[in-house]
Amino acid sequence: MKIAICIHGLSSGVSSKSKKEVDTIDCFKALKKNLELQNNADFDYFFHSWSHKDNDKIINEIKPKNYFFENHIEFHKNNLLDYLKHLRRKYFFNMDQPKRKNNTISRWYSLKHSIRAMNIYSNENSISYDFVVITRFDAFLLSKYRIQDLDNTNFYASKWKRFYDLNGKEIDEKKINLKNVYKKGLKGFPEDDEGIHDFIFICNQANATKFSNCYDNLNKHFKEVGVSSHKVALNQLIKLDLLDKLNFYNDFVNDINLARWIEPRDNQK
């Protein structure tokens, strides 16, 4: 069995969404421990990211078969309407994301080119992959991912847990690991219209390629579901007629989170 791991997004620097440093080396170690070592398979790594002073550090750590580093691209300049939407999100929903649209476009561009890196290598070397794992540089695996036990005709995303405090108010996902939880529920499709969780996707190579072409139709997605990667991901599956293949494996917070959102003790799981 051959498995490709395609990583995208920021691999160093400060996330504009959280204002915290993106540290990826621990994420790579968790990826190898909880995914690579849990499966009897050959793994190849691919990525796309934005160039920085530690390029060589990233390459030496994961030893990719193919990769792309690019200088940062500004995909979208905010206009007055974008600014007003930002103020609304900030003051009504406590979401401080002034570059939301630019960052969403950037994410899907990077995802597309991480898959492109895989396909170039695959074609040049006459290699095909049974599974493709699509994930971000700052995603931290907290539990075992036994890909070999899955069905590669399905498209897997994480279950999306929501948590509430003692007063029944939903807790911000960045603060869940404060452990002040009272009640758990499910979020996203099919429970509500928030889309699907998007830190990791698992599928076959053909579906990964089709899914990555989401970038080419982002403006249509934005018009239909808004500027949300969660909603765009689900909308892309619908357009690809893959909704009946959508399954859920492991879950966000217990099995995967962002490195900057978890406590040091969680890193040791």
Position 14 scores a pLDDT of 46
Residues in Cβ contact with 261 at an 8 Å cutoff, skipping those fewer than 6 apart: 18, 173, 174, 176, 177
13, pLDDT greater than 90:
no
**Tens digits of per-residue pLDDT, 136-182?**
999 999 999 999 999 999 999 999 988 887 777 788 777 776 555 66
Query: For 99-121, how does the pLDDT look when each residue is reduced to its tens digit (9 = 90+)?
Result: 789 999 999 999 999 999 999 99
Contacts of the segment 89-94: beta carbons below 8 A, 24+ positions apart: 94/172
The ranges assigned to domains in the chain are 2-158+196-268
Q: Is the Cβ–Cβ distance between 205 and 122 less than 8 Å?
A: yes
Q: What is 2-158+196-268's CATH number?
A: 3.90.550.10
Structure confidence by residue, pLDDT tens digits, 48-61: 999 888 889 999 99
